[in-house]
Amino acid sequence: MVSSSELLTPESLDETYGPDSPRKLIEVDGVVAPEMPLNIQETGIDRDVLANLALRLAYTVPQFTTESASEQLCLPGPIITELLEQLRVEKMVEILGQSGPFGYRYAITHQGREQAARLMTISGYVGPAPVSLEAYTAMLEWQLARLPDATSENVARAIEELVLPDHAIHMAGLAASSRRSLFLYGPPGNGKTSIGTLLHRAMRGELWIPHCIAIDNQIIRVFDMQSHERATGHVPLQIEQQHDRRWVRIERPFIVVGGELTLEALDLNYSTERGYYEAPLHFKANGGVFLLDDFGCQRAEPHQLLNRWIVPLDRHIDYLTLRTGQKIQVPFQQMLIVSTNIKPQEVISPALLRRMGYRVFLDHPSPEQFTQIFQDYAALCDLEVPAEVIPWLLDRYRAENRAMSCCEPRYLIQRVQDICHYDGQPVTLSKDLLSTAWTGYFGNEDAIIGKVTTS
């Protein structure tokens, strides 16, 4: 490995990380990051795109400084200085005075304001400078090839709070380790959503993603505070000072969509108010997990939603469409998890079913599994389970010919807690309290009284 403070050169990158690594990386104490560009050419973005971005920034404020422009556009001072000098020569901005030893105060000119207004009709984006789609794709694939795999130990630890059949744990672990898709199906309330959520914990490592990417003059926003969580791990000071600030270090994404998902949401979303594109959620999930929950409840037909991913699942690439009609190829590099109460053959074509990585059927729990779930959740709530409670519950399920679900021990205990809090008494588990909780949860009313007694 190279020295912890040595800049990675193309030669050392080839030697250390292989010939396919991105060309501009810096490593300090084992942390690797995109290195700050030294000139406009190294940004990978056309000079005019960056100059237009700087002019739009000038359009939004009465005046600004070299330092504030550098901060807002996430570009180093020398590049900002060069861009602003170009705009000054073109009479788009004017210098008002010095702002420090190496910077100036600027204001937009009348000519610049007219030009910026025209630019705003093409793109209204003002913020961190973009990276190229090629740079994003290369950096994503390079990072994913080096992130740790989800091991059987990690998977077991991540989902240990669930009581699942061994085959379900094994299949879920294989999907997470291979980063293939996972199709979870079975009756509701038996852990499908929980598996999808907890599997994300088994995926270790952090990612660098860009604030946005540029396609010519069009901007696509990638980093999203609602979808992404900034990484909290230690970053050496030298990385802080020398990394390319157009990139953000995040935890591996976990994004959930449910009944609100539409076909339109799986493509670029152009905001006429903001003047730029928002990347679709499955794109933002690259490097992590995309959970399609309650599949079959969406407004679009199930087969339409899943057929949308036949090519991405097969080739790990997707195609998104700009409003001009231009299609762009982007990476499809996340673990897709589909959770549904519907049988696969009823909603998925054979062509797509072949491309699904793993399928897991989660049935109703056995009496033994139900007992363990009930006892585990009671212990989590610091509650004792009297010896007669579990047999009484199992008898009541049988008497009503009601199938058990894995979620019901938690819901019944929570309702016992509600009852005790409402009545101002200590929380305990008893047949009487559980009988009231049962009626409140299942809504049986008086129809069942007499079939099962609490004595």
* 13-31 mean pLDDT: 67
Q: Apex CA 259: angle with CA 414 and CA 309, to 5°?
A: 125
Instruction: Compute the distance between CA of residue 55 and CA of residue 26 in angstroms, rounded to an integer.
Output: 31
pLDDT in the model for residue 7: 46
Query: pLDDT by residue (tens digit) across 131-164?
Result: 999 999 999 999 999 888 888 888 888 888 888 8
Q: What's the pLDDT score for residue 5?
A: 36
Alpha-carbon distance 391 to 65, whole Å?
74
User: In whole numbers, what is the pLDDT of the chain averaged over residues?
Assistant: 88
Residues 6 or more apart whose Cβ sits within 8 Å of residue 455: none
Token pair 């409402």 in the structure block, residue:
422
CATH of 150-204+252-361, one of 3.30.420.40, 3.40.50.300, 3.40.1260.10, 3.40.50.970: 3.40.50.300
Q: Where are the alpha helices (DSSP H) in 64-206?
A: 66-73, 77-89, 110-122, 133-144, 152-158, 166-178, 192-199
Band of pLDDT at residue 4, cut at 50, 70 and 90: very low
Structure confidence by residue, pLDDT tens digits, 394-403 = 999 999 999 9
Q: Which residue has the higher pLDDT, 242 or 18?
A: 242
Residue pLDDT, tens place only, 69-93? 999 999 999 999 999 999 999 999 9
Residue-level pLDDT at 157 = 87
Residue 206, C-beta contacts closer than 8 angstroms, at least 6 positions apart: 231, 233, 249, 250, 251, 252
What is the percent of the chain with per-residue pLDDT over 90, rounded to a whole number? 60
Question: Would you call 42 exposed, middle or buried from its count of C-beta atoms within 10 A (0-12, 13-18, 19+)?
Answer: middle
Q: Which of 60-64, 163-167, 198-202, 442-446 has the highest mean pLDDT?
A: 60-64
Radius of gyration of the chain (CA): 28
* Residue whose C-alpha is closest to residue 5's, from 35, 34, 26: 26
For 308-342, write each residue's pLDDT tens digit: 877 888 889 999 999 989 999 999 999 999 888 88
| Gap between the Cα atoms of 72 and 113, Å rounded | 19
More confident residue, 352 or 440: 440
Residues recorded for the chain: 455
Q: Check: CB of residue 406 under 8 Å from CB of residue 365.
A: yes
Residue 245, pLDDT above cutoff 60: yes
Q: Which fold has domain 46-122?
A: Arc Repressor Mutant, subunit A (1.10.10)
* DSSP 8-state assignment for residue 266: G
pTM: 0.85
Domain ranges in the chain are 46-122, 150-204+252-361, 367-442
Q: What is the pLDDT of residue 453?
A: 46
CB count in 10 Å sphere of residue 432 = 12
* Lookup result for tokens 């006429």: 272
For residue 144, how far is the Cα from the chain centroid?
Answer: 15
CB 217 within 8 A of CB 52: yes
**pLDDT above 60 for 198:** yes
Strand ranges inside 144-288, DSSP E? 182-185, 206-210, 212-215, 218-221, 247-251, 254-257, 269-271, 276-278
Query: Would you state the pLDDT for residue 444?
Result: 63
